[in-house]
Amino acid sequence: MTDLRNMLFSGGTVVTMDPDLGDLERGDVLISGERIVAVGPDLRDHPQARGAELVDTTGRIVSPGFVDTHRHAWQAQLRRSIPDVTDLGAYVMNTLAGIAPAYRPHDMYVGTRLAALSALDAGITTMLDFSHNSRSAAHSDAAIEALAGTGIRGVHASMSPHFGVWDEQWPQDVERLHAAHTTGLLSVRLATLATAEISGPRLAYGKELAAVADDLGIGVSVDAVFGAASSAAILDWARDGLLGPQVTLIHATGLTADAWRAIGDTGTTVSLAPTSDAQIGLETAIPAVDEALAVGVRPGLSIDVEVALASDMFTQMRALHAIQRMRAVNAAYGTQAEPHRITTRDVLDFATLQGARTIGLGAVTGSLTPGKQADLLVVDACDINTMPLNDAVGTLVLGADPRNIETVLVAGVLRKSGGRLIGVDVPALHEEVLASRTAILSAAESSSASDRQN
C-alpha cells in the first residue's frame, strides 16, 4: 500500500477517543480519501466500502495518531547531548546561546526532518514545531520544507532566536510564512515567551505580538510559562483581553491560583511537558495537570527538547500518569481523603483529542470521528510486550512503544507500514545528520574559541 484512497480497517479493537462513539472491542474504520467516513462494528456492507482495500486488523488496536503540542525540532541532531542537564539556565546557555547561532538553514532542515520522521515512526501524526532559531527567512523556510517533505501534519510556530546574530526579520516575516505555507497539512502560529527574564522584552508576549497574531488570524504558543513572573503576566494578559482558546501556554508550572483562574475563565489552552518539567526541574518540577483540571482545562502533551529528553509520546503519557498518581496518593497519605487519580484514558485523551484542540486542530484530528482527517495508528497487540490484549487503552498507555506501531496514516496517506517508515533511506539520513552535527559543533567551537581570544 502506498496511497490510501479507499480503505476499510476491519476486525481490530477500535479506540476512537470520541466521547460519543467510545471504543469498539471489534470494529471497523472506513476511510475515503483524506477523511474518515464511518466507524462501526461491521462496515463491510457500507456503500463506500465496495471496492475498498480491506486491511485485517484482527489482534490490533486502531487509534488516533498522537499530537505533540510543542517540540523544538531543529535541535534533533543534538539528541541527548546534555542528558543530565541541571536546570533551565544550563540548557539555555549550552543550546540556545552556545550552539544555536551556529545553525545554517540546511541544519534547520536536517534537524526538523529528523524530528518529524521520528515523530511519525512513534505514532505522532501532528507536531507543533516551536521553531525558535529563525535567524533568517531561509532558516524558517528550511524548517517548513522539512515538515512538508515528511508528510506529517505540521504546525510551524515561528520565533526569532534568543541570542546571536540574526536578520531581525521576525515577527514581520510571519505574515509571509502564513501566506506561503498555510496549505494542506501545514499551518503557521506565532511563538513567543512569557516574560522578558530569559531574552529581554523583544520575545515577551503582550499587546504588540498579540496584535500580529490577531491580524493574521493565527494562534499563539507561549513558552517558558512558569513561576511568579509568568503568573503576573497572565493576569495582565487577562486584563488586556490577550488570552483565549487561540493562545497556548506551555509548561504552566508554579503558577498562582489567580493565574490559573484567569486561564480557566478565558478558555486558554495549556501544553504540558511532563518529562521536561520533572527532569530538567522547571519551577516546581511538577507537571501542572491537577491545576489545569481544577479550572476546567484538559491539557495537551509535548516532547519539548530532545537534547535532554525522550522523543516519544508513550514516555510523556507514562511519566504524567505516574507523577500525578504519586502526587495524589502522597497528598492523601495518613488521612481519610480519597486520592484524586487521573486514568490511562485521561492521558491518552491529552495525547490525542486534547492535544489537537490545544493547538487549534480539534475539528481536524485527534479522534476517529467521521468527517475528520484520517490520522490513525494500527498497533500490534500480539507482540511480546503487548499480549494478551485485556484493555486497549491500558495497552496503548502502559504497554506499547514505537516498535509495536505497524501502520501510521496522515490524512489517509500511509507513512509507516509493516513497522517501517515509507520512502525513508535511514542510512542516508544518518549520514546527513552526522554531517550536520559535525558542522554545527565545529562552528560553535570556533565561535567560542574566538570569543575567548577576544
pLDDT given for residue 448 in this prediction = 66
* Residue 445 covered by a domain: no
Q: Is residue 212 part of a domain?
A: yes
Based on the fold, state whether residues 70 and 57 are members of the same structural domain: no
Which pLDDT tens digit goes with each residue over 147-172? 999 999 999 999 999 999 999 999 99
- What's 59's domain CATH number? 2.30.40.10
Q: How far is Cα 349 from Cα 17, in angstroms, rounded to an integer?
A: 7
43 in a structural domain: yes
Tell me: do 128 and 198 sit in the same domain.
yes
Q: With CA atoms as reference, report the closest residue to 17 among 57, 76, 54, 64.
A: 64
Same domain, 354 and 372: no
Residue 92 domain-assigned (yes or no): yes
The amino acid at residue 419 is G
324-337: average pLDDT: 95
Which parts of 355-440 are beta strand (E)?
A: 376-380, 405-410, 413-417, 420-421
- Asked if residue 74 and residue 39 are part of one domain, the reply reads no
Report the candidate in 319, 326, 314, 321 with the shortest Cα–Cα distance to residue 342.
Answer: 321
CB 120 within 8 A of CB 150: yes
- CA distance linking residue 223 with residue 270, whole number of Å: 10
Q: Is 446 within a domain?
A: no
CA distances in angstroms from 213 to 130, 136, 264, 373, listed in the order given: 15, 19, 21, 26
Give the burial class of 322: count Cβ atoms within 10 A of its Cβ; 0-12 exposed, 13-18 middle, 19 or more buried: middle
Whether the Cβ atoms of residue 70 and residue 221 lie closer than 8 Å to each other = yes
Q: Is 451 a residue whose pLDDT tops 70? A: no
The per-residue pLDDT for 197 is 85
Q: What is the pLDDT of residue 5?
A: 72
Contact 412, 33 (CB under 8 A): yes
Per the structure, the complete domain to which residue 14 belongs is given by 6-64+366-421
The residues near 383 (Cβ < 8 Å, ≥ 6 apart) are 403, 404
Task: Quick: pLDDT tens for 364-387.
Answer: 999 999 999 999 999 999 999 999
**Average pLDDT score over residue span 448-454:** 62
pLDDT in tens, 70-119: 999 999 999 999 999 999 999 999 999 999 999 999 999 999 999 999 99
| pLDDT for residue 4 is more than 60 | no
Closest CA to 80 of 88, 91, 89: 91
Asked if the model's pLDDT at residue 450 lies above 80, the reply is no
Query: And the C-alpha cell for 142?
Result: 528550511
The Cα 105–Cα 102 span in angstroms is 10
Tally of structural domains, the chain: 2
Q: 159 and 149: one domain?
A: yes
E strands, 300-381, where? 300-301, 376-380
**Residue 171: strand, helix, or coil:** coil
Q: What is the CA radius of gyration of the chain?
A: 22
User: Can you give the CATH number for the domain in which 89 is found?
Assistant: 3.20.20.140
Q: Output the nine-digit C-alpha cell for 344.
A: 490511562
Residue range 15-29: mean pLDDT, rounded: 98
**Domain co-membership, 375 together with 298:** no
- CB within 8 Å of 249: residues ≥ 6 apart: 194, 222, 225, 234, 263, 268, 269, 270, 271
Residue 420 has pLDDT above 60, yes or no: yes
- The residue out of 358, 382, 408 marking a domain boundary is 358
Each residue's pLDDT tens digit, 181-200: 999 999 999 999 999 987 78
Percent of the chain with pLDDT over 70: 98
Per-residue model confidence (pLDDT) at position 80: 96
User: Do 413 and 268 reside in the same domain of the chain?
Assistant: no
Least confident of 3-7, 202-206, 397-401, 413-417: 3-7
149 assigned to some structural domain: yes
Q: Which residue has the cell 522584552?
A: 201
- Asked if residue 79 and residue 54 are part of one domain, the reply reads no
Q: Is residue 444 part of a domain?
A: no
Q: What is the pLDDT of residues 41-68, one digit of tens each?
A: 999 999 999 999 999 999 999 999 999 9
pLDDT of residue 252: 98
Residue 98 confidence (pLDDT): 95
Residue 1 has a pLDDT of 39
| Position 305 pLDDT exceeds 90 | yes
Residue 440 lies in a domain: no
Give the pLDDT band (50/70/90) at residue 2.
Answer: very low
pLDDT of residue 200: 85
DSSP class of residue 380 equals E
- At 73 the pLDDT is 98
